[in-house]
Amino acid sequence: MQSLLVIRSSLLLGSGQSNQLIDRYVANWRTANPNGQVVERDLARQPIAHLDMARVAAFSTPADQRSAEQQALVAESDALIAELKAADDIVIGLPLYNFGVPSTLKAWIDQVARAGVSFRYTAQGPEGLIKGKRVYVITTRGGHYRDQPHDTQTPYVRNVLGFLGMTDLQFVHAEGLALGDDARRDSLQAAEAQIDALFDEVAA
């Protein structure tokens, strides 16, 4: 059975443009995978704890020496990594807030990037352990950043997910959403068409 992990991070919840574009992606995905399983992870509704000293110490303590408190901290991270490993497809909503990724999404990244669990160091260099995923990233932005040096998000997400082994990434950009009604409508329509086309390619 195919499975899809949905990662949302819009602080605007149901009104968030990334969430609405994700909804379109999920509807398409369900049509293409009628028996598939969809797992939802909404980081705005259920924020992930920030990385702190206790967590880093728990991660680096050998499993058989962890205290009960450390086991609980590691279990939260383990569950998030297990969710990623179980997915065939992953769709990530990526709003632009104050020139960066949502802090909730950064907290999630900090919980799933774990040496020995989601990546490891080898004599040949680091190796990502979350492999074989198709990842779709839907960005939503007030201005225009695509392919420009001040796009802080695309290179960062490509780097960190690639480091963890997720190298099959496609981006859908909805930009200029704060630049007036016409710009917003045109951008959203183009993004919707791009999302639909992802599934035309699969069906073809």
Ligand X SMILES: Cc1cc2nc3c(=O)[nH]c(=O)nc-3n(C[C@H](O)[C@H](O)[C@H](O)COP(=O)(O)O)c2cc1C
Cα–Cα distance measured from residue 136 to residue 25, given in angstroms and rounded to the nearest whole number: 9
Judged by CB under 6 A, does residue 18 bind ligand X? yes
Judged by CB under 6 A, does residue 140 bind ligand X? yes
Given 6, 7, 10, 106, the residue binding ligand X (CB under 6 A): 10
Q: Using the rule CB under 6 A, give the single segment among 48-56, 112-120, 134-142, 162-170 that binds ligand X.
A: 134-142
* Tokens at 105, concatenated: 């999404």
Given 116, 126, 132, 143, the residue binding ligand X (CB under 6 A): 143
* Tokens at 159, concatenated: 């780097």
Residue nearest to ligand X (CB): 142
Cα–Cα distance measured from residue 203 to residue 21, given in angstroms and rounded to the nearest whole number: 20
Given 4, 5, 6, 17, the residue binding ligand X (CB under 6 A): 17
Structure-token match 């992953």, residue found: 90
- Angle at Cα 187 formed by Cα 186 and Cα 192, nearest 5°? 100
Torsional class of 65: left (φ above 0), alpha (ψ -120 to 50), beta (otherwise): alpha
Q: Residue 203 CB, nearest distance to ligand X (Å)? A: 27
Between 143 and 180, CB nearer to ligand X? 143
Q: Which one-letter amino acid corresponds to residue 14?
A: G
Cα–Cα distance measured from residue 113 to residue 123, given in angstroms and rounded to the nearest whole number: 19
Given 65, 98, 124, 148, the residue binding ligand X (CB under 6 A): 98
Residue of 106, 105, 100 whose CA lies nearest to 145: 100
Judged by CB under 6 A, does residue 92 bind ligand X? no
Judged by CB under 6 A, does residue 95 bind ligand X? yes
User: Which residues of this protein are in contact with ligand X, per CB under 6 A?
Assistant: 10, 12, 16-19, 95-99, 140-143, 177-178
